[in-house]
Amino acid sequence: MIASIKVNNRNHKIDLSNPLDISIPMKGNTSDVNAWYKKHSRIEPHTEGEFVGSVSEGAAINFNHIWFSPHAHGTHTECVGHLTEEFHSVNKNLTEYFYYAEVITIAPEKLNEDFVISKKQLQYAFGNKKRDAVIIRTLPNLQDKVSKQYLNTNPPYLTEEAAQFLSKKGVMHLLIDLPSVDKERDGGALLAHRAFWYVNGKMRKNATITELVFVGNSIEDGTYFLNLQLAPFENDASPSRPVLYKILES
């Protein structure tokens, strides 16, 4: 199905029959991607007395419970409520779901004992483009990202200046294939989160950060339409399913 969408007074055609899903699903076992010192997510049948909610166990239905942490398990989208004492729900703050997005690929550079994504790298990869969303794919981009155990691995992260660059460029939705835009252990500083959600002291309530995506190597750098889908939890973060669509013509 070909759809025509108008953005910034320009008509764009996209192929809705060819979605590019960049989310990492939860399977409920040890092969799930995992971060923040949590056990893996679990998907298990409900039990009550002799009842086991599984057709393979003799029940008429499958009736599962799911245990997970949105920040630790699978692709998730979070809002400024991740940092604030006052409650902010990503389900309330994300009010639109279709965005003009740019996919960029960056090899994090060495900074002391860490690897980081710097402002200079973003300036080179993103340039002067104006986009609602930016999707950052880091190198190396191996398939093990969908099952990686990030605990105590000190993954790459964004510098504070890099996050400020994106926020000042008007980027409202930042997506990245890492467990966090910040250093794994930073004493609670969360400099990149704060730089992205606050500009000149003003809170950007409608801005979001999506972490633990996986952008396959078959997806080229460039401009796409992004459909950012959330599970409707009233929480600072929720499991999400970002889907890209190629622009066929303008």
- Phi-psi category of 158—alpha, beta or left, where left has phi over 0 and alpha has psi -120 to 50? beta
37 part of a folded domain:
no
Q: Give me the mean pLDDT over the 42-55 stretch.
A: 95
Give residue 90's pLDDT: 98
Number of structural domains (the chain) is 1
150 part of a folded domain:
yes
- Report the CATH number at residue 145: 3.50.30.50
- Output the DSSP codes for 25-80: ---SSTTS-B-TT-PPPEEEE-EETTEES-GGGT-SS--EEEE--TTTSSSEEE-G
Q: Which residues pair with 64 in a beta bridge?
A: 45
With H, G, I as helix, E, B as strand and everything else as coil, classify residue 196.
helix
211 part of a folded domain:
yes
Give the integer Cα–Cα distance in Å for 125 and 237: 28
Angle between helices 119-126 and 160-168 (to 10 degrees): 40
158 part of a folded domain:
yes
Give the lowest-confidence range in 3-7, 79-83, 122-126, 150-154: 3-7
Could you count the other beta carbons within 10 Å of the beta carbon of residue 135? 25
Give residue 12's pLDDT: 78
189 part of a folded domain:
yes
Res 130 pLDDT > 70: yes
Domain enclosing residue 183, as ranges: 2-26+72-249
Give residue 8's pLDDT: 62
Q: Give me the mean pLDDT over the 127-152 stretch.
A: 96
Structure tokens at 40: 């893996």
56 part of a folded domain:
no
Angle at the Cα of 229 (from 226 to 231), degrees rounded to 5?
165
59 part of a folded domain:
no
pLDDT per residue over 173-205, tens digit each?
Answer: 999 999 999 999 999 999 999 999 997 789 999
Please state, rounded to an integer, the average pLDDT across all residues of the chain. Answer: 94
pLDDT per residue over 191-245, tens digit each?
Answer: 999 999 997 789 999 999 999 999 999 999 999 999 999 999 999 999 999 999 9
Give residue 7's pLDDT: 65
49 part of a folded domain:
no
